[in-house]
Each structure stands twice: as C-alpha cells, then as structure tokens.
Amino acid sequence: MDRFLTPHADGRPQVMGVVNVTPDSFSDGGRFVETDAACDHALALLNAGADWLDIGGESTRPGAEPVSEADELARVIPVIEAIRGARPEARLSIDTMKPGVARAAVRAGAAMWNDVNALRADGARAAAAELDCLVCLMHMQGEPRTMQADPHYQDVVTDVARMLGQQVGAVLSAGVARERVLIDPGIGFGKTLAHNLALMACLDHLTGLGFPVLFGASRKRFIQGVDESAVEASDRLGGSLAAALHAARAGCAIVRVHDVRETVQALKVQAAIAQAGGIA
C-alpha cells in the first residue's frame, strides 16, 4: 500500500485533485451529463499532473446538508467506473463518511477511503478492516451542517493531535494495518481562523505522529479571513498555493487541491530551489 505514498524523486508531496460530483457543481442536465462532466474534469486533473483524484458525492463544506446513501452511490460509482475505463492506472480516493459507499467505491477500483468523519460512523471501522485500501482519518469538530457555529478547543494543536491519535488507535484495534493509515488536521472543519492558522503553524506536531499527513486548504474560507478581498472561492488561488507550499515544507505526504497544474508547478519550483540550496 505505501508504494502509493512514495513522494516524488525531488521530495515534493503527491497532489490530490478534487472531483466533486454534486448537482450544484454542474448544470442540471441529469445524471448522465453529471457523470460525463465529472469524468472530463477528472481526466483534465490527471493531465495537469494529479497523482490522486478524490471523488466525493456529498459536500462537507460548512453548512452542507447530508445526502442519502442511494443518491451518493448513484453520483460517485458511475464516475469511478468511467475514470477507471479511461485511465485504469489512475489512483482514486473516495471521499465519504458512509461505509456502504466506501465498500462499493473500493470494489469499483478506489485505493483510498478518505473519511472526514475519521471512521466514526456505525460499521465504518469494520468495513475499513475488510477493505484493501488506504484510509485517511480527518479531524472534524461537530458535523458539516453546524460545525462553524461555535468551534472551541482547549489547545487546538494538542486537541486535534490527541483526537487523531485516539481514532488511529481505534482503527488499528479494529484490524486495519498501520501501513494503511493517513491522518489529516481537517482545515476548516469546526475551526476559527485562529484555529486553522495555529494548526498550519504546528503541522510538524502531526507529521511527527508517524503517519503520512494529508492536507487540504485549497480555496477554503480561512484565506478570506486573512485577505478580506478573497470573497469568492475562485479568488483564493494565491492563498491556496501558499498553504500547499507550507504543507510540503512541513513534510505532508499529500496535498488535496482544486488547482492541480498551478500547485504542481509551485511545488516543483520550491523543490528545485531546495535542491539547489543543498548542493551549493
């Protein structure tokens, strides 16, 4: 499994491109149009240099409403099958909190279960133990619909590290091999601007736990918190690149982003500079 997580030869992390399969992401042209548009987008991200694609059928953005298992399956499985048909070698991740969706996605070819709920749903750990896939455990306080109402921590860095440590322990006890586990601080998931910045400033606390770290800050609201003019998600590329470069320097294994080509280029330039510094 860990052969999937080897960094590039220049030391830069892997890049995971985001593929949202939610009706509001595309025109309301029906399921076939939705599948087609998501698959086209996925192939474009692979051409732009994505090492992974993260496929999600339920938004986990602040305020997002839950989606039924049947709807989520109907959204993501055809997209996974279409990508596998076009690019069998592509590494695919399923972004879901539901064990039933993860099971079907892995059966259809997904190599990672990315769970923003850290396998806390009923039956999730048992399902993960059965499945032959990587699992990413992310920290979230609360649930997407209400998580930004009143986030609070004693000390956000130690609280997040402790919670992830506990979830890792539970997952290992359920029978998941430690080589299959990644962790993620969950930027924007039940966190104020100060919480998000503190977590980013102390990423080495998480990388030091001994598991590969997946990091997702792309286009998130904290960027607007720093730069008030970045109101639209599409106006947050600069902040997203700054966060991805920082995560790479901190030793993260995978950065989850929307703007794959720009991120790969930024990471390559940073790695080239670091390499030149090492030789000089």
Give the binding site for ligand PT1 (CB under 6 A): 60-62, 95, 114, 116, 136, 138, 184, 186-189, 214, 216, 220-221, 256
Q: How far is the CB of 135 from ligand PT1 (least distance, A)?
A: 11
Q: How far is the CB of 276 from ligand PT1 (least distance, A)?
A: 31
At 58, list the tokens. Answer: 């339920």
The reply to whether 220 belongs to the active site is yes
Q: How far is the CB of 243 from ligand PT1 (least distance, A)?
A: 11
Q: How far is the CB of 255 from ligand PT1 (least distance, A)?
A: 10
Nearer to ligand PT1, 77 or 257 (CB): 257
Q: Which residue is nearest to ligand PT1 (CB)?
A: 216
The reply to whether 256 belongs to the active site is yes
Nearer to ligand PT1, 254 or 267 (CB): 254
User: Is there a contact between 39 and 31 (Cβ–Cβ < 8 Å)?
Assistant: no
Instruction: Catalytic residue, from 98, 219, 221, 256: name it.
Output: 256
Q: How far is the CB of 93 from ligand PT1 (least distance, A)?
A: 8
Instruction: Catalytic residue, from 191, 220, 221, 236: name it.
Output: 220
Nearer to ligand PT1, 189 or 211 (CB): 189
Nearer to ligand PT1, 91 or 221 (CB): 221
Give CA 180 to chain center in angstroms.
Answer: 15
Nearer to ligand PT1, 233 or 274 (CB): 233
Which of 95, 83, 4 shows the shortest CA–CA distance to 44? Answer: 83
Which of 85, 66, 2, 74 shows the shortest CA–CA distance to 34? Answer: 74
Residues marked as catalytic = 220, 256
